[in-house]
Structure 1
């Protein structure tokens, strides 16, 4: 199932309701770990991979990684293909993919990140925090019935790690320097 929210408290409630104690979680956009701590307290017998590229995340997530043995932090940009490859070396799949890349901005980036990561990891559930995606879903209508009961899209099944999306390098010079 794919669940989308904008309010951080709703997002965390959905996380809490979705997580199981033995789940493998990949969290994209952990920042300083407020949601990560909620995840770690619930997923006591599972594995957590948390990723963020903000400088503020490094010390905070380093401290959380010391506190929780099942937490592995990767300092990196989730739009960079090597970061996905690093995560896949740690977990070949996940139960829950948690995506919070700023909440309200750039739904196109969030969707592309979701598509790449969910294609590679095929999660049971995906939880996304992004206002733009909610606005798009709530404003759209379709007469076709195409749906997936999983946290990934059936149209991308069996592809493994998808190739790097070339558009990422067009959006920011920062990505060209990596």
Structure 2
């Protein structure tokens, strides 16, 4: 058995400003020294087992590579399946789109045909729905928290209602008062 260190390093050394090298068992023995600057030397009897270790490492890497290849193959299969599914879905979407287009053409055609007042009622209902959707959007935009804080401080809620909402509410109230059948 050899008592000498298995690994030693040749490190840059500059005693008295003259570039030189020194042997050391540490690749960076001083402050500010970079281990990358050291040259590593191994005792010859310590590397006799290196071919076996290298063969074991090669076998380990080959096994890892085989695992990666299998994983890659599985991922490629998944990609192919997903692409096929996307193509099928695209076909279904196209078919649904054609059916929807046909239905919309049919609705437009039937809307152009005279009906016994039902279409006028449908158009009026669609207009009312659009008005309500606009009103809902305005209400959603209303800062309820701020209004609640100001009410708590004693301010009038009417001041916090957005003008567009106030106008719509007033118009709806006026319309109700104008039509007797709307008032039960």
Name the TM-score, length of structure 1 as normaliser: 0.18
Name the TM-score, length of structure 2 as normaliser: 0.18
Which structure has more strand as a fraction of its residues? 1
Which structure has more helix as a fraction of its residues? 2
Say which one has the larger Rg.
Answer: 2
**Relative CO higher for 1 or 2, CA cutoff 8 Å, sep ≥ 6?**
1
